[in-house]
Amino acid sequence: MHVYRFRSQGIKTQATPRCIAESLFAGGRPLSMIDFSGPHAVRRGALALSGTRAALPEGLTLMARITADGTLLELCGASGLGRWRGAFAATGNDGGMTVFGNRGQDMAVAANAVLKAGGGLAVAEGEWINALIRLSELPDYPGEIEREFASVRNALAVLVDRKPPFLLKKLLDYALTPATAISPAPGFSDDGDGPLAAAE
């Protein structure tokens, strides 16, 4: 498996984009919890952290939804996604972004890579971008698109220990789902795998 890394400063920009600061991902208030261990994301209560720099419990990942203008919509704790060392960011249909990770620095680098690329997907660790898909430059050929997604999947495999099945599908499903559509109840049923499951 090959993962090609480059520094975040090396991304060519189409315009001067806004910048997402690491401080956007600092806690300081109870985090609502979202469980990804089943086939669908489910909200499950809240977790109180002792301060803005409090360490996350083992196996917990931060998840942030950011609006198209760079405002933090929600910051949650996510379980069932494995143990992370980096971050993943993806733009949604509304122009906003969803970012997963366990450190604000990684999350800010991934988010800014997606912004500078004009939308897409990014996997980052420290100041390095391990994978990037620019939506504005998506190829027309299915084989090339599959290779682009494989690069993201490989980068996640390097950075996430105890990776659950269909991790990329779960991340993309959540990134493209409106926040109000996430079920607050624990009862959910599996309605089958979507087309992205085959890419896992």
Q: Above 90 in pLDDT, residue 23?
A: no
The stretch 39-48 carries a mean pLDDT of: 79
Q: pLDDT: is 16 or 168 the higher one?
A: 168
Distance (Å) of CA 164 to CA 26, 79, 146: 26, 11, 20
The number of domains in the chain is: 1
Q: Above 70 in pLDDT, residue 182?
A: no
Note whether residue 186 is domain-resident: no
pLDDT, mean over the chain? 76
Q: What is the pLDDT of residue 146?
A: 84
The pTM score is: 0.76
The stretch 16-43 carries a mean pLDDT of: 78
Note whether residue 198 is domain-resident: no
Domain enclosing residue 105, as ranges: 19-181
Note whether residue 5 is domain-resident: no
Note whether residue 54 is domain-resident: yes
Tell me the C-alpha distance between 76 and 32, whole Å.
5
Q: What is the pLDDT of residue 164?
A: 76
Percent of the chain with pLDDT over 70: 72
Q: What is the pLDDT of residue 192?
A: 36
pLDDT digits (tens, 9 = 90+) for 128-159: 999 999 887 666 777 778 888 899 999 999 99
Note whether residue 9 is domain-resident: no
The stretch 51-79 carries a mean pLDDT of: 82
Note whether residue 99 is domain-resident: yes
Tell me the C-alpha distance between 31 and 38, whole Å.
20
Note whether residue 124 is domain-resident: yes
pLDDT digits (tens, 9 = 90+) for 69-112: 888 888 989 999 989 999 999 998 788 899 999 889 999 999 99
